Amino acid sequence: MFNLNLYKKKFRKLLLPINKIIESFFDELSRSKYPKNKRGPIKKNFIRLDQKIESFFNQFKEIKKYNQSKKIFNVFKYKKSLVLVVIFLFSSTYFILPSFYNNDEIKKLLKNQISFKYDIDISFNEKIGYSLLPKPFFFTKDLDIIHKEKVLGKSDYVKFYISLSNLFSLKKIKIQDIVFKNTEFEINAENIKFFEKTLNNPEKVNKVFFKKSKFFYKDREDELLFLSKIDNFKFFYDEKNELQKVKSSFEIFNIPFKFDISKNVSNENKNLELISKKIRLNIETSIKHSNSEVSGLFILELLNMNNSFNYIIKNNSLSFLSKDKKFDGKFNFKPFYFSSNLNFDYINQRKIFQKDSLLLDLFNSELLNNPNLSAIINIFIKKIDKFEYLEDYTFKLEFDDGRIFINNFDTKWNKSVSINSNDIEFINNEDGKRLIGEILFNFDDIEKFFRYFQIKRNYRNVFDEIKADINYDFVSNKLIINNLKIDNKSYQVLDELIEGINKEEKNLFNKVIFRNFVKEFFQAYAG
């Protein structure tokens, strides 16, 4: 009769040498974690382990031959199980090897590789840790990013993903990808070249991620120009198209943007795309480098308007001109200053005065209230819909020290009344979003004006001009008039009329309400 217990004992006896060599291997491996001179036996133990396993299976073959006619004991089942166990132990041991390397030597390795690839230095303030999942990586907290001996950024948490090959040797370990989390950068015109170098690196740069970070951009006097919140910012190489790429999503003045850059590795040419759904902006541009200047073409989508622009960057300035020659301008970068001329044939008034207008989106973003923004924009609009008798709007938008002014405003009503204004200021505070200023009506052909509004002849008192203070609320779309004067004189009866209109909060942009107001106005003035 076949003795099962006997074969169990023989099987345990065969496994015992393997168990011992595995235990011995991990004992020596654990001791090698600390003294540097005890790392030699590791490879020898792997060789001994392999030899014992081979010897075991040689003996196991004899058992197989002896029991060939017996079906009670299936040796192949145990053999497969053991192979799986050994493979698992061996692979696990291989992947955990980096955790046994000296911490200082790991830091030195990471610093050298990052310095070589990205021309930056890093400074560790905490120990290095190691993790296997989802793939092997070193990690640390409170890391400083240094560029030209100055701290460029501080990161709360960093992962250094490493290659799966050559884990037996610390010197052969290579960084693949880097992830920086919660990093605060202090950027200026000089150290921003770090990002340029990363993009222009002739080598195939591995992935570098910046997540949940902040950019504090400062001028030469170390004063903050703007703050940008970074959701994602990554460098990587597109092998299929042979392109170095940057993809980012961020906020500036509460306006979300997506910004992508693609650079051909064989030359300096680049493609850029800037998108902001909140302000309905989409810019695509190509860049070509030649000697001391950069030129290109960008396609702009704004206010449901599509146009393309040629531009040139030279001597710290950018000049642009639209293909239809209706828009032109210039940016000076040092110091920052913007000037432009914009010409529109037609604008939908909903895009200006409604609650969901682009103009209000810009005001809400506080982009235009930036104290570091200095700009003059000359605007000409041929026609605004629903203002049927008004045409040829010209005015100047000025941005200075965080304040926004409308100057040199001029338009014509029915070719009979000139409407002018100067120093109208946009106010954006807790009380709302308002335009406050003075407006002047000059009557070039007052009889034509009287006929249009059907003013009775006994109310047609002739005068030259009307002047008043205005307060327009963008949110409620209400207009309040104060301090009205005719030919520079005040009249109590007109003040009372205006006061009543203001209290009733009548919408003077309504055609019927405005027509009735004009009739009441001249009736009161004649009386």
**Which one is predicted more confidently, 169 or 399?**
399
Residue pLDDT, tens place only, 484-517: 999 999 999 999 999 988 888 777 778 888 888 9
182, 156 Cβ separation under 8 angstroms:
yes
HSE-CB of 160 using CA atoms within 13 angstroms: 21
**Distance separating alpha carbons of residues 486 and 76, to the nearest angstrom:** 110
Cβ pair 265, 202 in contact under 8 A = yes
Helix axis angle for 4-31 and 41-66, nearest 10°, is 170
Q: Locate tokens 């196991």: which residue?
A: 60
pLDDT averaged over every residue in the chain: 76
314-315-317 Cα angle (round to 5): 70
Q: Is the Cβ–Cβ distance between 216 and 246 less than 8 Å?
A: no
The confidence score (pLDDT) of residue 2 equals 44
- Nearest CA among 400, 401, 354 for reference residue 377: 400
> Over 70: is that where the pLDDT of 304 sits?
no
Highest mean pLDDT pick, 17-31, 141-155, 225-239: 141-155
At 163, the amino acid letter reads S
Give the span between the Cα atoms of 505 and 472, in whole angstroms: 12
Model-level pTM greater than 0.85? no
342: Cα within 13 Å, side-chain hemisphere: 18
**Tell me, what's the pLDDT at 431?**
75
- pLDDT tens, 16-70? 555 555 555 555 555 554 444 444 455 555 555 555 555 555 555 555 554 554 4
Give 101-127 pLDDT, tens digit per residue: 788 888 888 888 888 776 678 889 988
- Are 320 and 329 a contacting pair, CB within 8 Å? yes
- Please give the pLDDT value at position 215: 80
The larger pLDDT score, comparing residue 138 to residue 290, is at 138
Which tens digits make up the pLDDT trace of 422-454?
889 988 777 778 889 999 999 999 999 999 999
Cα dihedral 28, 30, 34, 40 sign: positive
pLDDT of 130 reads: 84
Of the listed ranges 14-23, 115-124, 248-257, 387-396, the one predicted with least confidence: 14-23
Q: Scanning the structure block, which residue is given the tokens 């000139």?
A: 418
Amino acid letter for position 237: Y
Residue scoring higher pLDDT (93 or 475):
475
Q: Ranked by mean pLDDT, which of 26-35, 264-273, 285-294 comes out on top?
A: 264-273
Q: Using only C-alpha atoms, what is the Rg of the chain?
A: 38
Please state, as a whole number, how many other Cβ atoms lie within 10 Å of the Cβ of residue 392. 12
CB 413 within 8 A of CB 419: yes
Residue 199 backbone dihedrals phi, psi, to 5 degrees: -70, -40
d(CA 406, CA 397): 5
Tell me whether strands 175-187 and 208-218 are parallel, antiparallel or unpaired: parallel
Long-range contacts of 380-387 (CB under 8 A, 24+ apart): 380/341, 380/342, 380/343, 380/344, 381/344, 381/346, 381/347, 382/344, 382/345, 382/346, 383/345, 383/346, 383/347, 384/346, 384/347, 384/348, 384/349, 384/352, 385/346, 385/347, 385/348, 385/349, 386/349, 387/349
Helix pair 511-526, 446-453: axis angle to 10 deg:
120
Q: Which residues on adjacent β-strands are paired with residue 5?
A: none
SS (H, E, C) 397-432: EEEECCEEEEEEEEEEECCCEEEEEEEEEEEEECCE
Question: pLDDT digit string (tens) for 339-382?
Answer: 888 888 887 766 565 655 656 666 665 566 666 678 888 999 88
